[in-house]
Structures are given as structure tokens and as C-alpha cells.
Structure 1
Amino acid sequence: MTENAAQNDPPTTHVLPRGIRFAGAVGGIKASGKPDVSLIVTDRPAVIAGVYTTNQIVAAPVVLTRSKTPTATGRVVLTNSGNANACTGEEGMCNAKAMCEQAAELTGCDAADVMVMSTGVIGQPLPMEKVRAGIESAAGKLGVAESDFLASADAICTTDQFRKTVSQTVSIRGQEFRIAAKCKGAGMIAPNMATMLGVLMTDAPIGPQTAQDSLREIAGQTFNRVSVDGHTSTNDTVMLVCTGLSESKDSQELTKDELAVWQEAATQVALKLAKMLVADGEGAARFFEVRVSGASNDEDAFVIAKTVAASPLVKTAITGGDPNWGRIVSAAGYAGPKIQPERTSLVIDGVTVFQNGTPLPIDAAKLSEKMKSNNEVLVDLKVGDGHGNASFWASDLTEAYVRFNSLYTT
């Protein structure tokens, strides 16, 4: 896997929210010489909300940006890749603040209105001369074209094999509101808040606390339901930027019913990104979905689905195309929530292998070939007669993942 291969992606078409400019630039932080500084700048003060890693070891940019959100005066989201600025002590916080101050000066706003994100290797001081050069270069390239948006998306990538961007429009009040989003991530991905860097942007009029609450729900239904390696990063951040600069003069904040429509669309955007994270999992050969039904409640179903998806034994079975149902049902059994073994059933890629606590005779070789021939594998697990349901998405675990991560910092 090569670092930041995203620039090789084919052209795409996006609808971009009004009132936002984008840029990506090379500062020289990455040894590869690939883009490593991204800017998102709003034309006027905007609502910005954020959700952050729940890891107790937290990077300086997370601490700083978390203290600023939600806000109604945000102007800039600045990201550097190639260096996480995590576990860097007081120097790391000073550098994060310096990044905000420089971006503020170049874009004509206050440093308090600049949000900063970093991603890359942990424990190394930021090469500030290169960071400053990248920020200055990005500020000089800001634009509203799709190419500018894609450049900003490329500049946040690290081990990603492809860029991850999605856009969509949603009709509310007889007008079209735009949603666009980008994220990065391929490793150190585990569901415990955001588990990557990402930015959702919209021109819908949404207030600060509403945006914060909405983003938390969106993350809970999408980014918190994916896993590559079970490792929650020190830098996880997802931001929501709302400019309110739609084509209509009606800038009144969305009503509760209108927000529900917008949030459903935004959730679909985020879900597409979340699935891209899994599909791009380091060394991954297959993507699999675990659907749990019959639990006592949705929360229990989520815990069971997460446990099954995170099991190394389940992941390696998916890698080998092995319909090893015992690994799946036993993972459900140790997940914690109460299940009904006598009502537990399992379907793998449409083939029922276990029903009401009893294994069924199957053509294991045929099912194995079916699993191997698909990039995606579907696991349907019923654990009782309850009303709880949940879905979870994960990548498999391969030798390539082990090789890549055994050499990542060397």
C-alpha cells in the first residue's frame, strides 16, 4: 500500500455547499512529497460542531479544537497530514495554536474561529517550517471548484489507497440544500466516536447546539459502526460546518421536522464514507456486514454486532472464505448482552448454517467459494425474539495488514 494514492482516483462530480472555499497544498511534511495541508474556509462566520476521540491519550489539536465547538463564528478547518502532533507535550499545543494563528491571519479571521486537525505518526514534533509553508501555499490556492474540493480531500490522506468524498442534495422548503463531505482513514480504525478525520459541510441553516446534537447522532449511526483493526486513534475528529448560505433568502433555522429530513440525508452521506473506510482497510481483501436481530434492544444488538465484527477469528474466517459459524455464534455468546441460544440462527451470504441453536447440513465448499468470489460478505445473526436490531461494518484481517503495520514507522 502506498501513502496517499488518492490523487490517482478518476474524476468525480460533486455538488458543493455555498459559501465555502477549499485548497490542498504540499508543505513537505510527508517524505513522499504528496499534499499534506488542507484548508476549508467559509465566506462568513459559520456554525461548526465536532465530535472527538474518546481515547484518554488525546492529541493537541483535539484538545484545542474540542474547546472551541460548537460555535456560531467558525471560519476555518485546517488539517495537516503526515504528523499526528500527538503525545508531543506543551510544544505540541503551542504548535497547534500557531497553526490556527497563521491560518487566521491569512484568511482574515480570529484564531478562535480556526479548527485544526492532524493525522499521521504519533510522538514526533511537527516540522513547523514545513507546516507553515503548507498553510501559506494552501491559503493562496483557495477556490470553489470541484478540483479545489478534491485537492483538500487528497491532502488529508495518509495510508489511504483512495480519496473518500461524497455529496448529495436534499429538498426542504422547496429548495435544494447541499451536503458534501470528505474523510480519511484506512488503519487505526475502531468505533468509539469518530475513528478518523472527517468534515461534513452544508449550506442548510442549522444552529450550533442543534448541529452538535445532530452530528453526534450521525456519527453514532455511521462512523461508530465500522472497524478495521479495533484501535481507536488519539486524533479522531469529525466536524460539521453549516454556512446557512442557501440559494434562498430564508435563513431561518431548520425546524425539527425539516432537520429530520436533512439529518437522514447527511446520515446517508456519512454512511457511504464510513463504508469507504472499511473498504480501504489496510491490507483488507474483503468487507463484511454483521446484521443482528432479535436482541432485547438496539443497544444490545449493537454490542453483539460490534463484538462479532471485531473478533480476529471472525475476521480471518472472512479472509479465508471459511463459513466457520462457530466463531460467529460464540462471539455473540461472549459479547455480554443476554441472548437466547435456542432461538439463535445464522445466515452467511444467504445460506442458513445454524438455526434455532442447531447446525444445518450445508455444502461448505460451495459456500466458501461464494464467500471468496465476493468482495463483500453478509452475516445475518438472529439472537432471540426481541425487537433489537443493529448493523456493523468491518474489514477482514490479512497477512498484508500485519506486514504493513509491522513496518509503518520504519
Structure 2
Amino acid sequence: MEIINGGVTAAKGFLATGINVGIKNNVKKDMAMVFSRTACVTAGTFTTNKVYAAPVKWDRSVVYNSEYAQAVVINSGVANACTGEEGLNNCKALAAKAGQELSIPADSVLIASTGVIGKQLPMDIMLGGISRLKGLLGEELTDGELAAEAIMTTDTVKKQAAVTFDVAGTKVTMGGMCKGSGMIHPNMATMLGFITTDLKIEKSVLQKALSAIIADTFNMISVDGDTSTNDTVLVLANGEAGNAEITSENSEGYKEFYEALLYICTELAKKIAGDGEGATCLFEVKVINASDKEQAKILSKSIVTSSLTKAAIFGHDANWGRILCAMGYSSADFDPEKVDIYFESSAGRIKIVENGTATDYSEDEATKILSQSPVTAIADVKMGNAAATAWGCDLTFDYVKINADYRS
């Protein structure tokens, strides 16, 4: 696998763009389109929130019931959540318009929205926006960047990743983009993610791989403990690389495909966590030597979501008691008197707890390590060989300011 520059236009046959249509009433881009010249096998995962947006309902139907998908229309600024029958009808109208413009069936068009909950989409300008988007579609990396910019809300940076890999002698490319900064929590953390590849693969195999990988990537990030109404990750595979089709986990090239998808999802997840609202630091938590994977996940999530621990990371304070405390209320069974805790960053590594009590560590050295980004906390529970990693960010003054002013 080779890491390359790019996003959703990195793979063969995919075009994209992003523009401002006026949803946000300013000059920021707020509408994007991704299009494949050929039909795509499609997989998706969605929010577990019982209050889910109209585009989530629409996309579930397309992913689960349509033979293929070929385009995605995305807007930022309005979530189209809690909008009733009108919201779903608006998804249908957008899909119909995109299908007409692109000469594809409406049920091959996926719809995604992000922004303020409870408002109806401004359909007049969005329907016109679809016509404009179609005319601007391009396959250059810069076209993918325009799309990545258009899906941002409180994000401060575009989030993209891309790789190439080999399948039985055939070069395959995979790229993706995502958005997410606030209202981020496990079980489909608040986000939109779109991954494109020219791989030829059977739909059921793609879906199974995506569902498994989500559990270790996007479901292992948290910024603020809020799970959204719109969380969606979609993968479109158009087969234009020309590889022998991957039809099972035993197919040649499946391992390389899985590793590529895992890398893309991991990188995008980390970009979301590191760009948490108001964040100054990506906070990574590794739990090692756990009795099983589930125990490691529970413990790492509990630490990364602890508001007190996140505040300590912001203050560059090696307040390890908050980490041990968060482990203690996680519901996971472990012996706190056997736990070792380390902090690690580009400035070095320091052991601050051994067997549940503080070591004779230097506060100055710990502060130096905690002043970098990313910062990693490692908790060794000495119970087995399992491990898990969770990602989050520090909790800063700006988080409150951003969310207090979100609609104003």
C-alpha cells in the first residue's frame, strides 16, 4: 500500500466538485457532488440515534435496496433532521433532479446533509445548485478538495486521505473525504464520510468489511459525547481498475483491500478527532494487554471521553488520577493496583503510574510531553494480549464558545 495525495477523485472514474449556493448565506461553499462515470457497488453505515435525519432514511433504502449507486449530493448548513415527511420528499426531489442532470436513475443517487437540526432545506437554491454542480464536475485532485471543503461545518480543515494498493498485479486506488468537528461520539460518531475506489468487489463483501472496520475506527472517536442524527459513511466501488473481482474474504487481494480501507477510515477518524471544536490537541488512548478486545475498547473509550481528562490534556497537566478514575467507572473489570500508565508524544515517553501508584516522574518532563500534538496515553492493564485505541481531543474554552454561537 502506498499513501498518496487526494480524496474522492483519486480513483479512476470519479468526479467531484463543491460550490456555494447560498444555504449558509455567506461565501463559504455549502454544496458538493460526487459522481462515478460507471455504476458502483455501494456499502454504508449509519447513525444509531433513534432520531435520524431524512437523508439517512433515504440512503439506507438506496444502499440496502438499489442495485447500484452512482452519485452523492451533499449539503452543509442544514441537517434536514426532524423535518417530517417534507424532509424525506425533499431528498426524493434532490435525487430526482440529480438523476435527471446526470442521466442516471433517482434511486442511484445518495443524499447527505449536515448542519442545523429542525430546518427545512432551501429547495429552490439547492435544485439550482445541482445543475451548477453537474456542469463543474472534474476528476482532478483539486476538484475533490472543493467537495471536501463544501461539506465542512465547524471544521477548520478539509479532511481527505488516499492510497494505492495491488490486487493480483492490478493497481487499485482508494480515496475518501469526511467532515466532523462537534457532536462527535462513538456508535457512528457525528460525521459524514465518503470513500471511493476503482476496485471491483462484490457488494456483500464490501459491506461486511466496512461494518467491521467502522467498529475500530469511526466508532472509536469522541469529542463531546453527543451522537448525531445524520452520521453516514458510504463506500462506492466502480470496478474501473479492472482487477479480478473480490468475491470473498478468501479472494486474492482481499487482505490488501481490507488494509487500505482500514487505513482510510483510521486516518479520516483521526482527522475528525484532532479537529474537534476548539481543540488544540489530538488525544489518543491505547489500552494494552487487556483480557479481550471488548474490555480494551470500553476502557479506552471511557478515558478518551472523560471531560476531566480532556481538560487536563488541554492544561498539559499529567493528572493521571483522572485516567484511573475514568477506567474505574467504565464498567470493565480490571485490577487498578496492576495498572501502568504512560504519556507519549514527539517529545518523548514517560511512565507516570506503576501498579496503580505514581512513579517518581518529573512534572516538567511530563508537561513537555503533554505540550505536543498528538498526545498518547497508554494504559497497561496486564490481563492478556488484547488492545484497542480510541481518539479524541482536549477540552478547551473555545468548545463552549463555538457551540453557544452555533446558530447565531
Bin the TM-score by the shorter chain: over 0.9
* Counterpart position of 1:65: 59
User: Any stretches of 5+ residues in structure 1 without a counterpart?
Assistant: 1-11
Pick one of 240, 250, 253 that aligns with 2:246. Answer: 253
**Is 1:296 matched up with 2:282?**
no
C-alpha contact 1:200 1:240 (8 A) present in aligned 2: yes
Q: Output the amino acid matched with 1:252.
A: E
User: Any stretches of 5+ residues in structure 2 without a counterpart?
Assistant: none
Deviations 1:168-225 (A, max 9, x none): 1001111110001010111111111253001111111111111111111221221111
RMSD over aligned Cα atoms: 1.5
Pick one of 96, 101, 105 that aligns with 2:100. Answer: 105
Q: Output the amino acid matched with 1:106.
A: E
Distance 2:196 2:12 in 1: 9
**Is 1:49 matched up with 2:43?**
yes
* Counterpart position of 2:400: 402
Report the number of matched residues.
396
Q: Output the amino acid matched with 1:109.
A: I
Q: Deviating runs (4+, > 6 A) in structure 1?
A: none
* Counterpart position of 2:77: 82
* Counterpart position of 1:365: 364
Pick one of 121, 129, 133 that aligns with 2:116. Answer: 121
* Counterpart position of 2:226: 231
**Is 1:139 matched up with 2:147?**
no
Q: Output the amino acid matched with 2:395.
A: L
1:337-356 alignment runs, 5 A limit: 337-349=332-344, 350-356=349-355
**Is 1:384 matched up with 2:378?**
no
> Alpha-carbon deviation of 1:357?
2.2
The secondary structure found in structure 2 opposite 1:136 is helix
C-alpha contact 1:27 1:135 (8 A) present in aligned 2: no
* Counterpart position of 2:167: 172
C-alpha contact 1:51 1:194 (8 A) present in aligned 2: no
Deviations 1:67-95 (A, max 9, x none): 22145421111111111000111111111
> Alpha-carbon deviation of 1:150?
1.4
* Counterpart position of 1:7: none
Distance 1:185 1:32 in 2: 20
Distance 1:253 1:210 in 2: 8
> Alpha-carbon deviation of 1:251?
4.6
**What TM-score do the two structures reach when normalised by structure 2?**
0.94
Deviations 1:207-263 (A, max 9, x none): 1111111111221221111111111110000000000011x4x55335524222111
**Is 1:310 matched up with 2:305?**
yes
C-alpha contact 2:164 2:171 (8 A) present in aligned 1: yes
> Alpha-carbon deviation of 1:44?
1.9
Deviations 1:82-134 (A, max 9, x none): 11000111111111111111111111111111110000111111111111121
* Counterpart position of 2:271: 276
Q: Could you tell me the percent identity over the aligned residues? A: 37
> Alpha-carbon deviation of 1:53?
0.5
